[in-house]
């Protein structure tokens, strides 16, 4: 059963009790809106229910958010949108072939209107879908963010280790200052540690920015060494 039919079934199963509301619902159903007495809130709700039963549809919230009620004239559409507005939700008006449609395209507005129509089972359905979508979106955002951060950290650690190994291979063992040598050793032994964790492993603990500075220095040194040992073609020509 479509979501539309579910809403309609729910509305038909709970017809209004008082005479004024019954008349208002009938006015909505028949389209005889001009003589309807909609001075009471309960009657405005009943009128919207009638109009929806006559010409309304609402898409399955799992797929999209679209609620509409089709009426024959522009005046009728404006009247209906006005009644809906008085109850809270903001409906728009559009034209389709021979009809005018009063429609709502956001989940919050549709939920509000289902509440106005007292379609509480349908309202619960749409709220469940909306909550699920929210949760899914925030989980996805979180996962994407974690992956990006991990990639960044792993990439940086990989570059630092390359630099340190280059220095070890190409420079004398006491080439580095004691602080940098200790930093290099700690980084090599802990390729997956964060900057903060590395800082805590040093004999004199260091904060994130201090660790970052030392690692950058190591990469700078490796770069200098590389330049001296493997000159790029341009500098090779120019130095002679």
Per-residue mark of binding to Zn ion, 20-59 (x: CB under 5 A): xx------------------x-xx----------------
Pairwise CA distance, residues 75 & 135, whole Å: 41
Cβ closer to Zn ion: 30 or 149? 30
Does residue 218 contact residue 184 with C-beta atoms inside 8 Å? yes
In the complex, the smallest distance separating the C-beta of residue 28 from Zn ion, rounded to whole angstroms, is 12
Pairwise CA distance, residues 236 & 228, whole Å: 10
Q: By CB under 5 A, is residue 14 in contact with Zn ion?
A: no
Q: By CB under 5 A, is residue 152 in contact with Zn ion?
A: no
Cβ closer to Zn ion: 29 or 42? 42
Cβ closer to Zn ion: 86 or 96? 86
Q: By CB under 5 A, is residue 198 in contact with Zn ion?
A: no
DSSP conformational letter for 63: T
Cβ closer to Zn ion: 113 or 206? 113
* Kind plus residue range of the DSSP H or E element containing 227: helix 208-229
Q: How many residues bind Zn ion (CB under 5 A)?
A: 5
Determine the straight-line distance between the first and last CA of the chain, rounded to whole angstroms: 85
Does residue 119 contact residue 11 with C-beta atoms inside 8 Å? yes
Residues near Zn ion (CB under 5 A): 20-21, 40, 42-43
């Amino acid at each position: 059963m479509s979501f539309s039919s579910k809403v309609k079934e729910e509305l038909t199963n709970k017809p209004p009790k008082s005479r004024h509301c019954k008349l208002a619902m009938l006015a909505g159903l028949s389209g005889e809106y001009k003589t309807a007495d909609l001075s009471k809130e309960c009657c405005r709700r009943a009128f919207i229910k009638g109009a929806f039963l006559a010409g309304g549809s609402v898409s399955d919230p799992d797929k999209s958010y679209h609620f509409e009620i089709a009426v024959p004239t522009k005046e009728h559409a404006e009247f209906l949108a006005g009644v809906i507005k008085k109850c809270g939700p903001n409906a728009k008006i559009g034209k389709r072939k021979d009809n005018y449609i009063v429609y709502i395209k956001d989940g919050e507005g549709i939920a509000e209107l289902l509440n106005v129509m007292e379609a509480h089972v349908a309202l619960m359905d749409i709220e469940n879908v909306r909550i699920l979508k929210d949760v899914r979106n925030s989980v996805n955002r979180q996962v994407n963010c974690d992956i990006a951060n991990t990639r960044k950290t792993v990439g940086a650690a990989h570059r630092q280790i390359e630099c340190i190994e280059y220095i070890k291979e190409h420079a004398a063992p006491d080439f580095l200052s004691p602080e940098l040598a200790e930093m290099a050793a700690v980084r090599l032994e802990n390729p997956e540690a964060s900057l903060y964790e590395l800082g805590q492993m040093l004999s004199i603990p260091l904060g994130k920015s201090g660790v970052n500075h030392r690692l950058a220095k190591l990469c700078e040194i490796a770069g200098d060494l590389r330049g001296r040992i493997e000159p790029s073609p341009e500098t090779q020509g120019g130095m002679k």
